[in-house]
Amino acid sequence: MDQYTLNLLVIGLSFALYIGIAIWSRAGSTAEFYAANRGVHPVLNGMATAADWMSAASFISMAGLIAAVGYGNSTYLMGWTGGYVLLALLLAPYLRKFGKFTVPQFIGDRFYSQTARLVAVICLIVISVTYVIGQMTGAGVAFSRFLEVESSTGLWIAAAVVFAYAVLGGMKGITYTQVAQYVVLIIAYTIPAIFISMQLTGNPLPPLGLFSTHEGSGLPLLTKLDQVVTELGFSQYTGQQSILNMTLFTLSLMIGTAGLPHVIIRFFTVPRVSDARWSAGWALVFIALLYLTAPAVGAMARLNIINTIFPGGPEQPAVEYSQRPDWMKNWEVTGLLKFEDKNGDGRIEYYNDKNPAFADQATQRGWSGNELEINNDILVLANPEIAQLPGWVIALIAAGGLAAALSTAAGLLLAISSSISHDLIKDWLVPGISEKNELLTARVAMAGAILVATLLGLNPPGFAAQTVALAFGLAAATIFPALMMGIFSKRINSLGATLGMITGLVVTCLYLFMYLGWFFIKGTNMLEPLPENYLFGIPPTAFGPIGAILNFAVAYFVSMATEEPPEAVQELVESIRVPRGAGSATSH
């Protein structure tokens, strides 16, 4: 069986499974559509939460960014993992005890204001749409390679699949589909990593293989990798980056994770508050299986690519383009890997042509610039091909990448549709809407969100993980402070919280738009990056904590200068925070 047919078979079977589960567990009421009727077991919810959270950014893009930069991009690992711990300890149990369907519903009730609720809805939609762009981008990358179509075509295929099971199943269908998707993605991620770790180090456990001896040279794997990348003018793989930016970016991802609405709503699906805590614990276990493997995948992918281009080592001539390996030919079709013979020698020159210290050495070797452009998002998907693993492994990782992208996309789309149908339509615009019409509205809203996300995904503002990082920054600056103050402070009132969210959203969006060039600023074209003259050297992806600080500050000072919240609201805050009867709560 040829590789294309094998890919179709494995991917087709996985999609049939997802759609079959959605049909079996389709939502018949708003309670099932929004919160799976609060009947999900903690272990299953932990697995679904892990799939919901470990998106295309985690599966496809994170290891690629670590491979491209090295130690500096370990901030993605630290920020996302630390943020989930923050969410599990400080937010999830209290929000479940509050007993509502959506994050804006909590904010509206806690801050006794429809305006606060509307602002929260706007923040949620901006965050979720930005986040889902990264998922659709990742799905498009996977489809484009393994179904041998253009990435834009792959994006539309991904949209159709998500539409088929998310619109039908709602939270109930999405939950059980995500359980299946987690199983697919974790098997797909770890099996190739085990093969490659065995090839390079002889150690079958990738996290340990990362610190084992490289079999070809006898050096530690990371020492060998540092050696080959520096010989090509790149920075040392284990070298340190700017401490300020690493700290801010890690913090942005942490508090952004804790404010992600599509993850938070997963904790509304369990029967009791104690189950929310157990769900968080199980999710951390399931997440760790992938996150402990990702650094090894990134490092080994980088080493394999260089060994492919320079079979005799970086000091020897590169491989001729006409003799390039099949994996390069396959990915060139997608447009995500490009070659330009700048010196006309017919060989693939791959090095850091932006490093002035390496310019003389490049000139001596007759190189006229880097000739190979590799999209970071392809590295994990291409890794089995680079390592010449069996065809079924290649097909499996294709299915896993798609599972990761589609599982998170479905969760995000549900968060968007719930906010529109429940918070905007039912609780504000049309309070008397019937349950049947509300369910229909939720499905229409989800279909609209899929269309918007797909159109935006055709021209994303960066790699999948970078686009997702922007969403985390927005969540850090808007939702997270409002939730923290709503749970842990009785003094913050509706005006303070509302103005705080608006401040965080506006300031962060302006900073992102200014430095990413999403609008026609200073004569630039849309999506054309501006020069990196960042404020205090802070890149857009690390600006979230600054927006959060402004949010907290505005909310605090405005609340101190205005009236206290009503006594009933202060008692509500006290009842949420103090865990009386947490283990026995069933309806709230």
Residue 436 inside a domain? The answer is yes
Q: Considering only CA atoms, which of 526, 20, 469, 9 is closest in space to residue 254?
A: 469
Cα 274 to Cα 82, 279, 484: the distances in Å are 21, 9, 20
> How is residue 414 written in tokens?
């549900």
Residue 356 inside a domain? The answer is no
Angle, in degrees to the nearest 10, between helices 379-386 and 294-309: 60
Q: Considering only CA atoms, which of 391, 565, 384 is closest in space to residue 489?
A: 565
Residue 35 binned pLDDT confidence (cut-offs 50, 70, 90): low
Q: What is the mean pLDDT of residues 463-469?
A: 60
Q: What pLDDT sits at residue 21? A: 82
DSSP string of 444-505, one letter each residue: HHHHHHHHHHHHHHTS-SSSHHHHHHHHHHHHHHTHHHHHHHHHH-SS--HHHHHHHHHHHH
Residue 441 inside a domain? The answer is yes
Residue 549 inside a domain? The answer is yes
Q: Tell me: the pLDDT tens digits for 542-557?
A: 888 999 999 999 999 9
Residue 339 inside a domain? The answer is no
Per the model's pLDDT, the better-predicted residue between 246 and 554 turns out to be: 554
Structural domain count of the chain:
1
Residue 375 inside a domain? The answer is no
Measure the CA–CA gap between 272 and 582, rounded to whole angstroms. 8
Measure the CA–CA gap between 116 and 479, rounded to whole angstroms. 11
401 and 59 Cβ atoms separated by less than 8 Å: yes
197 and 300 Cβ atoms separated by less than 8 Å: yes
Q: What is the CATH number of the domain that holds 570?
A: 1.20.1730.10
Q: Tell me: the pLDDT tens digits for 489-520?
A: 999 999 999 999 999 999 998 887 776 654 33
Residue 361 inside a domain? The answer is no
Burial class (CB in 10 A: 0-12, 13-18, 19+), 4: middle
In the predicted structure, residue 144 carries a pLDDT above the cut 80? no
Give the N- to C-terminal CA distance of the chain in Å, as an integer. 54
196 and 273 Cβ atoms separated by less than 8 Å: no
Q: Note down the domain range covering 153.
A: 3-300+386-577
In the predicted structure, residue 269 carries a pLDDT above the cut 50? yes
137 and 155 Cβ atoms separated by less than 8 Å: yes
Residue 521 binned pLDDT confidence (cut-offs 50, 70, 90): very low
Measure the CA–CA gap between 172 and 450, rounded to whole angstroms. 18
Measure the CA–CA gap between 248 and 250, rounded to whole angstroms. 6
| Residue 296: half-sphere exposure toward Cβ, Cα within 13 Å | 31
Residue 497 inside a domain? The answer is yes
Q: What pLDDT sits at residue 531? A: 46
In the predicted structure, residue 464 carries a pLDDT above the cut 60? no
Q: Which of 169-178, 435-444, 574-583 has the lowest mean pLDDT?
A: 574-583
Q: What pLDDT sits at residue 532? A: 56
The residues facing 337 across adjacent strands are 374
Residue 466 binned pLDDT confidence (cut-offs 50, 70, 90): low
Q: What is the mean pLDDT of residues 248-252?
A: 84
In the predicted structure, residue 248 carries a pLDDT above the cut 90? no
45 and 223 Cβ atoms separated by less than 8 Å: no
| Residue 386: half-sphere exposure toward Cβ, Cα within 13 Å | 24
Place of tokens 């091909």: 385
CB atoms within 10 A of CB 575: 14
